[in-house]
Structure 1
Amino acid sequence: MEHAEEAEARRDWTDGHVEQWLPVLPGLDPVIEGAVTRMKLLSGHLRRVRERSLVDFALDRPEFDTLHKLAGRGGTATPSQLATDLDLAPASVTGRLDALERRGFVRRRPSTTDRRRVHVELTESGRATWAGAMDVLGDEESRVLGALSREERELFNDMLRRIMLVAEAG
């Protein structure tokens, strides 16, 4: 319980935000407002870290997303699979792949079973660039969630899952 006592002794920006709005909105639940505001702020913080890491690795968001989806498929996919994964028209994926191929991040290989098909492969350079950008974000996620013990992180994850199940059920 040491962590809970420390948190109560320290205040963050959201504590002031909630105090400001309580007199204006008397029905406001300060716990819900605090939790939702903190989730939004944390999400924004992690998004900014990700965007800075993309700049550091000279990637734009569409390039990163394409490398990410390709890496998620084990480093190889067809353009149509990537189009589906990215929810894009095939022509849009072709443009992305052209740019990534020029940078040496992917290569296209003809299918060995069907000459009309092409497979896209993540190159070592593409994998290293994608992994480097991912590491920056992963390090920050570990840093901020390091404020919790292992058990607290597991409980937090379980609680967020329960919340997401309600949100996903609509």
Structure 2
Amino acid sequence: MEPRDRVDAHVARWLPVLPDLDPDVEAAVTRMKKLSDHLRRVREQSLVDFDLQRHEFDTLHSLAGRGGRAAPSELAGDLGMAPATVTGRLDGLEQRGFVRRTPSAADRRRIDIELTESGRAAWLGAMDVLGHEEYRLLGALNAAERRTLADLLRRVMLAAEQR
């Protein structure tokens, strides 16, 4: 018999109350929610450990994803925010030494934002904590099972995106 987790007990408790409940749907959705909550808690703790606010991490993450250099307007687009809001974020990150403003090589009228070594270290530190936990959790599966899981979740995600 397969080992049982908390979700198995949850489903068993609700089946008598909701006889039309599909136990597989309930179990899958509940597990996805609980795993998402778990990873959120790990991420939040890693931000505390690296003295980062969520918005600071998100901005550093976006900048790192652009090779460590971007225009404020590009970051605003990535983050789905107004440029003025991003400017305020960048001010705080610059004060902390995580980013620097530099003249654009492409357009002298423009300023680019550059990720500093200190900013990269803070971002990577927080990323590593979450990454290690993701690998720990998915290490319960072999490579083929991880691929199958990713493929199955893609199908579910595509259904969600069609709404």
SS in 1 for 2:20: coil
Q: Name the structure 2 match of 1:151.
A: 144
1:162 matches 2:162: no
Deviations 1:109-155 (A, max 9, x none): 01234332100000111111101100000000000011111111111
Q: Name the structure 2 match of 1:21.
A: 14
Letter in 2 for 1:94: T
Letter in 2 for 1:100: L
Letter in 2 for 1:71: A
Among 23, 31, 46, the alignment partner of 1:38 is 31
Deviations 1:72-129 (A, max 9, x none): 1111100011111111111111111011011110000012343321000001111111
Q: Name the structure 1 match of 2:117.
A: 124
Distance 2:135 2:104 in 1: 40
Deviates more, 1:19-28 or 1:107-116: 107-116
Distance 1:114 1:159 in 2: 45
Letter in 1 for 2:90: L
Q: Name the structure 2 match of 1:60.
A: 53
Letter in 1 for 2:63: L
* Structure 2: segments with no counterpart, 5+ residues: none
Among 122, 131, 135, the alignment partner of 1:138 is 131
| Pairs aligned (count) | 163
SS in 2 for 1:114: coil
Distance 2:122 2:106 in 1: 30
Letter in 1 for 2:31: R
Distance 1:113 1:32 in 2: 52
Q: Once the two structures are aligned, what percentage of the paired residues are identical? A: 69
Deviates more, 1:55-64 or 1:81-90: 81-90
TM-score w.r.t. length of structure 1: 0.93
1:89 matches 2:89: no
SS in 2 for 1:16: helix
Distance 1:11 1:144 in 2: 16
Runs of at least 4 residues off by over 2 Å: 112-116
